[in-house]
Structure formats: structure tokens, C-alpha cells
Structure 1
Amino acid sequence: MGARISNVQREARELGRLRTGWSVPHKDPGKRPVPVKSETWVLTSHARHYLDEAAEVWGGTVEPWQPQGSGPEQYRVVTERRSIDALLPPGDPLSQYNEMWNAGGCLRRCDGETEQLTRKSCLCARQFGPDWHLQPKGVVCSVTSRLRVVLPDMPDMGTWRAETHSFYAASEWGGTVDMVLSGTGGRGLIPVTLRIEQRKRVANGQTKNFPVVAVELRGVTPRQALTGPLPTAVALDPSAAPRLALEAARTDWVAEAACALTIDDLQDTWRRAFRAGELTDALAALLKARCEEVEAESVRPARRTAEPQPVPDEDGAIDAEVIEEIDDPGWPDDPDATG
């Protein structure tokens, strides 16, 4: 029988990254690279055959790519798609921090209240106030959101990491993922679409255009996603399970209550309907009434079965058992009883 180490976190291997741009060297070697935004998804990985498959599915050309720093060479494909299909894996796939990095690694990692490396209060908010995120990059931390997803059409078993430094995406990703987790409890897969959409913000007389990665449900309704964990077959191919089939797969709680024979059966129905989010007031009242019926039936005296009447034979005689008469000793508590 298999076993797991209880204090070791289990996490699927990271196969690559999903990016919304890249960077090019600055004309001044002493300055930071210049970021370039992409209107389509960019995939990077250490394994070329992953990206060969991505290019087949989403277009683009695989090319060698050198990430910032001194890491080993990888591969990159700039796809032709603004949206790609993905799956949210079980557990909580989202990690969010305010971070500051340099060539030596991570300098700050803050949850919005406490800087995790020094255990001090948020340095950016203390210095610049609640609108600290409007300050130039490098002066304050960058809002960093990392979302682990499964790309069902790619080779191998593992996750891909989508990362964004958008302040607005951080809010939307957190809201979407938390809403999904409230319904699934972190169990099962959820089909989603990752889409790059262009946004515009007008403030202080200035107009700013910027991309935001939206996480959208794919092929299922919010009702279906929030009812509980989806069957894996539905998550992998939502189009193969039309809405009517999903509705038909629901348990008929009323019929189950009518067939229940014991209080334990009815209590089990109550618990399962509650976990499925389908314990309505009407169903609760019906289950309580059925419990009273079952309880009443359990204390009702059993009916006596009528004894068959003797049937005379062809001579008109009736078989009978001869019982020898004995003196009645009386009730044991009777003081006049004999013996």
C-alpha cells in the first residue's frame, strides 16, 4: 500500500512559464533591460519538445532563449493566441506577494502587512502610503501573482506558471480563485481560459493602456463550478457533457428520502445533500417529516397474522390436538394458589 510523508508538501513539477512579454537589453549596459509587452501568449521552458507541441497548437516558432541572470539557456515560443485553455489544479493554485528583486535574488517579500524576510511592517506602505503601487518600479515592490495551471493539450504531467505584476490582475485573480475554492474546497480540476485583454485607465489627466490577464470559466456555468468538484471527464472536456447531462446526474433527494428505511439512512441523505449545496428548506422539512414517519413505524406493534382455520376431511372430521386438563395452579402472586 502506498504511503506519503505527512510533513512534505506535494506539488506537481513545473514544466514551463506562461508570459505576457519579454525584455531586451538596454542601450546603456548599466541599466535594467527594457520590457516588451506581447499581445499574445509567450511560453518558455527548458524542454524544447514541450514548445514544439505548443507551436503546433497555438502557432509561433520555437527559438533559443536566455532568461535574465546567469541561468541555463531555455526555449521560447511567441504564440499567435491571446487566449489558451487551461485547468486549475486541485488545492490553492494562486500565490501572491509584493516583491522586490535584484541580481542577488529576492530583497523583499511582503503580504501587504508584514515583510516576510525581516518580519517588519510593510515598508512600501509606510513610506508612500496606500497608493504606493503607483510609484516607479524598482522604488517599491512589484505586485506579484503566480498562478499554477495545467495545460491539458501539452506533453507530460505537471503545471505551468503564469505570472503577472499587474495590480488589477492581482485583485481579479484572487477573487476568481477564492470563489472557485469556496465551491470545490480545492478538490478536482476546473476548466478555465487564460485571456490577455487590453485595458485603459484614465487618471490625473493621463490615459494608460495596459494588458491584463483574465481568468475565465470555460464550458461550465458558475452554478456547476460552485456546486462541488467537477468530474474529471467534464473538466477535461466540458463540451462533451452538456448542461442537461450535468443536471440529470444530480441525486434525486426526494426519491431517496422516500425509500429510506432507517433514521441513519435519512441522516446520511441530509449530510450528503448539505455537502452538495442542495439542502433547501423544502428538502430539510421533507427529511424531518420522513424521520418522524420512520420513527412512528418502528414503535407501531406488529400485526398478528391470522391463524389458518382447520379444514374438515372427506369424512367431515377435523384433526384436533388433545390436551390433557390439569388443575390451574393460579397466578403466582395469588395467595390461594395451590402447590
Structure 2
Amino acid sequence: MPISPIVLQRRQAELGRIRLGQKNPEKGFPMKLDRFRFTSVSEQYVRDLADLYGGTAQAWDNNGIPSWEVITEATSIPVIVVKNGMSQWMEFWAGGGCMHRCDGVTNMLTGDPCDTEEKVQVGKKKVNPHTEAKPTTRLSVMLPELEAIGVFRLETHGWNAAAEIPAVAELAQFVGDLVPAVLHLVERRAIKDGQTSRFVVPVLDLQIGAAKLREIVEAKSGIGNELEAGASSGAAAIEAKRPDYLALATEAGDVDAVREQWTKAADAGHLTDDLKQALTDLAKTLHPTDDQEPVEGEPVLDPPDVLWQKCVTVAGTLGWTTDQLELALKSDHDATPWDATSEQLDALLTTLEAEAA
């Protein structure tokens, strides 16, 4: 009898890697690519990939492991997203090993809370592994055009991919165990001090139609028919479904209800300036529950980790790099992503949204 999946999580065999960079052949430092690079210990797989997507298959020394590589001409490739094929952590690697892996709160290597004071020797300097950690997103996909059963793994350390890929991969879990998609390399730009920098971001595009999407939504929330009706009747039908947040808060008659309706409206994208003012005015006339102070018009802010992800998403639309976003937070609010308050991150988000408008 096989081991229970609860005890042993099953996974596809890894056949190789999808890489977005390589070492400079002359100077040895890492350099980014604007097209896909495949590596594998299998010469046949790499030669087949070269036939499919261009490039020349050649031998490659993977730190003493005889391997093969091909830098293709492809910037888009068909893939199949597999169940449980994505992982995401904040990681810091040094000396050939992973020194820190966390979810932003808990160190997964020790099970202890992240230590922001710990110092370890790395080379000639001492660093805090938690603050040095970078987002590490790993996505395993099958290549339907390759005659092989197994997955190739993409690993990226960018904030844009960290913010975008998980949402698409999560949607894929609702679609099925094997979901067709296209993996793109999309160029984005950032302008700093008058200088324009260009970089590529991996983007996952699920190949599912509107009918399948409605089916998924209906199965999970029971509102598939509403989506279909909304598509035919236009914005007026969608607007008719908007809750009366002010009436709901007024009926409840306490400040907690105002906070709740404020948050719900904000999450749904319905928090207009008029609604903000109306809820603020209502809050001033009410007494807080549990002897709390009145809100006096102050919005309910998301937790810092949620606000940081929102900042990352908006910054990505502006073409900002992670370093640029962290620098803006440090220079404007004297904070880092790990110690910033909700108020500081909300102020940064407001600035980013204004620039993106």
C-alpha cells in the first residue's frame, strides 16, 4: 500500500531548470538574459529544446556536475502548471548553503521567530540573515512540446514575480491538476535619476477561457450566473450589486461597524471620496464599542505585510526594482520592509498610486 499523501507529498521528477541568467564567460559575474535558458543533465532533452526553441546545445559544468545548456531564442513557451508546483520564501544563501528561509515571520529552518538582531559572518562583513533575505519564487512546470514526463523548475528572486506569479498559480489549483499556460518574459523599464534601466519579468498566463473561469467562480462562490449577467448588461448591472455601505454601518450603529464597512468597501474598490467622508461623519456621531476611542475619520489600515505587497505590485507597474522601492521607503520614511508600520507603508502606497495614476 502506498504511503499516504499526507505523510509524503508526491511530486513530478525534476528534469532540468529554466534559467533567466548566466555567468559572464569572461569575467565570471552573473548576467541577466532576455530569453529563456534551459539546463539539464540530459543531453537529449537539451538538444530537443534547442530544436524546439532555437539556440545551440552545449556541454556545461554545473559546479562539477556534467550538464548541458541551451540559450534559446524564445521569450514565450507553452507550459503546463502542475499541482503544488510553486513555493515561495524569503531566503538568504551564503557559503553554498541556505542560511535563512522564512515566510516573513517564522524561520523555517529553526521554527523560531525571525531574529532581526542576529549577526553572522559572511566574507569580510557581518550581516543579519533575515534582513538580507530576498524573495525566492520557484515554479515547476511541464513542457508539453518536449517528449518527456517530468518538470523543469524556474527560480526567480524578483519582487515583481513574487507578487504576480503566486496569484496565477493559486488560480491554477482551482482549475485542475494540470493546467495549460504560457510562460512569457516581459520587458519592463525603470527610470531613476534620468537613467532608464530595462529588465525582464517572468509572467505566467493561464490558457483558460471565460466559460471555464465562470465555472470556477460559480463552484467556489455561487456567483457565476451574476458574472455572466454582468458581462451582458454592462457596468450598470455591476453597479446595482454594490452594497449600501453607509446604510449597513448606520443600521449597526457603532464605530466597529464603520470600520468594517470601510474595509469592505476598500477591498471591493468601492471606497470613493464621498463614501469616505460619509463614513467619517457617521463615525463622529457614534460611540465606540468596548470603550475604544472614536475613529474620527481615520481609515482601517491593512497589516504591514499586506500593504508591502500592495506597494510591490504598484511599483512593478512603474517599472521599479526592489532596491528602488526599498530605497524610497528608507529615504522617505526611514524604515525597511521588515520594520515599517502600517501608517508608513500606507503613505508610501499613496505616493506610488499617485505616480501610477
Alpha-carbon separation, structure 2, partners of 1:125 and 1:199: 35
In the alignment, is residue 208 of structure 1 matched against residue 197 of structure 2?
yes
**Does the 8 A contact of 2:183 with 2:202 survive in 1?**
yes
The residue type equivalent to 2:104 in the other structure is G
**1:57 and 2:48 are equivalent in the alignment:** no
Please give the alpha-carbon distance, in whole angstroms, between the structure 2 residues aligned to 1:197 and 1:125.
38
Match runs of 1:31-110 below 5 Å = 33-67=28-62, 70-89=63-82, 91-110=83-102
Displacement of 1:139 in angstroms is 7.4
Distance in 2, matches of 1:125 and 1:276, equals 44
Per-residue deviation, 1:111: 1.1
The question of whether the paired residues in 1 share the 8 Å contact of 2:19 and 2:37 is answered with yes
Rounded Cα–Cα distance in structure 2 between residues aligned with 1:176 and 1:116: 24
The alignment's C-alpha RMSD in Å is 3.2
Map 1:129-278; keep pairs closer than 5 Å. Answer: 140-181=132-173, 183-184=174-175, 187-202=176-191, 207-218=196-207, 220-225=208-213, 227-228=215-216, 274=219
Report the alpha carbon displacement of residue 125 of structure 1 after superposing the two structures with TM. 10
Give the match for residue 11 of structure 1.
11
Q: CA contact under 8 A between 1:192 and 1:216: conserved in structure 2? A: yes
Deviations 1:78-113 (A, max 9, x none): 001111000111x22210011111234111111111
> 1: distance between equivalents of 2:210 and 2:85?
19
For residue 336 of structure 1, what is the aligned residue in structure 2?
none
TM-score normalised by structure 2 residue count: 0.54
Distance in 1 separating the partners of 2:215 and 2:61: 44
Structure 1 residues 49 and 210, CA, compared in 2 at 3 Å: closer, same or farther? same
Name the CA shift for 1:175/1:275 in 2 (closer, same or farther; >3 Å).
Answer: closer
Q: Is the 8 A contact 2:50 2:56 kept in 1?
A: yes
Output the CA distance in 2 between the equivalents of 1:21 and 1:120: 34
More helix by share: 2
C-alpha separation in 1, matches of 2:132 and 2:89: 13
Q: Aligned letter for 1:208?
A: S
Structure 1: unaligned runs, 5 residues or longer: 28-32, 128-134, 230-272, 282-339
TM-score after normalising by structure 1: 0.57
Question: How far apart in 1 are the matches of 2:159 and 2:95?
Answer: 23
Contact 2:186-2:203 at 8 Å conserved across structures = yes
Q: Structure 1 residue 279: deviation in Å?
A: 7.3
**Shift in Å at residue 167 of structure 1?**
0.9
Letter of the structure 2 residue corresponding to residue 59 of structure 1: G
Letter in 2 for 1:66: D
What CA distance in whole angstroms lies between the structure 1 residues aligned with 2:158 and 2:80? 21
Decide whether the 8 Å contact of 2:13 with 2:151 is kept in 1.
yes
Distance 1:125 1:224 in 2: 49
Contact (CA 8 Å) 1:180, 1:225: kept in 2 or not? no
Structure 2: how far apart are the matches of 1:124 and 1:155?
47
CA–CA distance in 2 between the matches of 1:109 and 1:197? 28
Deviations 1:239-298 (A, max 9, x none): xxxxxxxxxxxxxxxxxxxxxxxxxxxxxxxxxx857958759xxxxxxxxxxxxxxxxx
Identity %: 31
> Residues of 1 paired with 2:164 and 2:117: CA distance?
21
SS of the aligned residue for 2:65 comes to: coil
Number of aligned residue pairs: 216
